[in-house]
């Protein structure tokens, strides 16, 4: 069980992330839209799209009737792509401003699948219930390693078929960017990214009791300018499937 201090630190970080994205919601809406953006943001957009394409290739083409959680859904761009395959998508985000944008986009949409968006903690499965698939794209990258492990254990306990998530891989380039970013005033920083040694994470995924019955099915590393990310796909195996 997490200590009171760990719980308080988690809540403090979560609230900071919510404020950060609330203040910049319009920027994230434009990043996930089709309007022109600057050179750096265009590389981030391209990198995110590449990760999303890989994730979709790992999921069933037909998601009709499948319950999917988009954990940390932001303005809802990936939720739309899931719903286009017929999924019943629940999008959860800590930022009320981003959720309002996502819901407004959904209200104007016509197509297969269903979408609903809500403000909340994406790991509060006591509220959200169970899902066939959970997707957490760029929403676990602010977790220190121990909290990341705990988060994945909680996700696995509420998911029946597949989990896809991204981490910021520990590379020399990302370590340098992380160090330089920490020198800026706090108000000008993005929420702190916690680089993860992917090989060590993969070993933990194969050994953790909470992940018994799960295995890494796919992996995709993307490096596009300032966007550096690795996506991992966990799937049910053996008797647990």
pLDDT digits (tens, 9 = 90+) for 58-100: 999 999 999 999 999 999 999 999 999 999 999 999 999 999 9
pLDDT digits (tens, 9 = 90+) for 17-41: 899 899 888 888 888 777 777 887 8
Residue 167: pLDDT above 80?
A: yes
Q: How many domains does the chain contain in total? A: 1
Residue 176: pLDDT above 70?
A: no
pTM over 0.85: yes
pLDDT at 42: 87
Residue 184 has φ and ψ, to the nearest 5°, of -80, 155
CATH number for the domain that contains residue 74: 3.40.50.150
Q: Nearest Cα to 173, choosing from 101, 111, 94, 227?
A: 227
Tally of CB atoms within 10 A around 160: 14
pLDDT at 80: 95
Largest Cα span, the chain? 51
Q: What is the mean pLDDT of residues 138-147?
A: 88
- CA 138, CA 72: separation in Å to the nearest integer? 8
Q: Which domain holds residue 84?
A: 4-240
Residue 104: pLDDT above 80?
A: yes
pLDDT at 137: 96
């Amino acid at each position: 069980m997490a200590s009171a201090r760990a719980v308080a630190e988690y809540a403090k970080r979560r609230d900071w992330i919510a404020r950060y994205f609330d203040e910049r919601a319009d920027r994230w809406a434009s990043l996930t839209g089709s309007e022109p953006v600057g050179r750096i943001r265009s590389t981030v957009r391209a990198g995110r799209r590449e990760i999303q394409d890989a994730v979709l290739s790992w999921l069933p083409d037909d998601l009709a009737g499948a319950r999917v959680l988009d954990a940390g859904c932001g303005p809802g761009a990936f939720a739309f792509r899931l719903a286009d395959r017929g999924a019943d998508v629940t999008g959860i985000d800590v930022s009320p401003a981003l959720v309002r944008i996502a819901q407004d986009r959904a209200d104007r949409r016509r197509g297969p699948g269903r979408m609903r968006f809500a403000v909340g903690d994406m790991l509060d499965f006591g509220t959200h219930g169970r899902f066939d698939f959970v997707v957490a794209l760029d929403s676990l990258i602010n977790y220190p390693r121990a909290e990341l492990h705990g988060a994945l254990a909680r996700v696995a306990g509420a998911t029946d078929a597949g989990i896809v998530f991204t981490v910021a891989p520990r590379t020399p380039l990302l370590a340098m960017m992380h160090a330089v970013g920490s020198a800026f005033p706090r108000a000008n920083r993005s929420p702190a990214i916690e680089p993860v040694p992917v090989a060590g994470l993969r070993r933990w995924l194969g050994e953790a009791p909470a992940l018994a019955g799960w295995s890494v099915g796919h992996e995709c590393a993307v490096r596009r300018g300032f966007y550096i990310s690795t996506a991992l796909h966990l799937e049910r195996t053996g008797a647990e499937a």
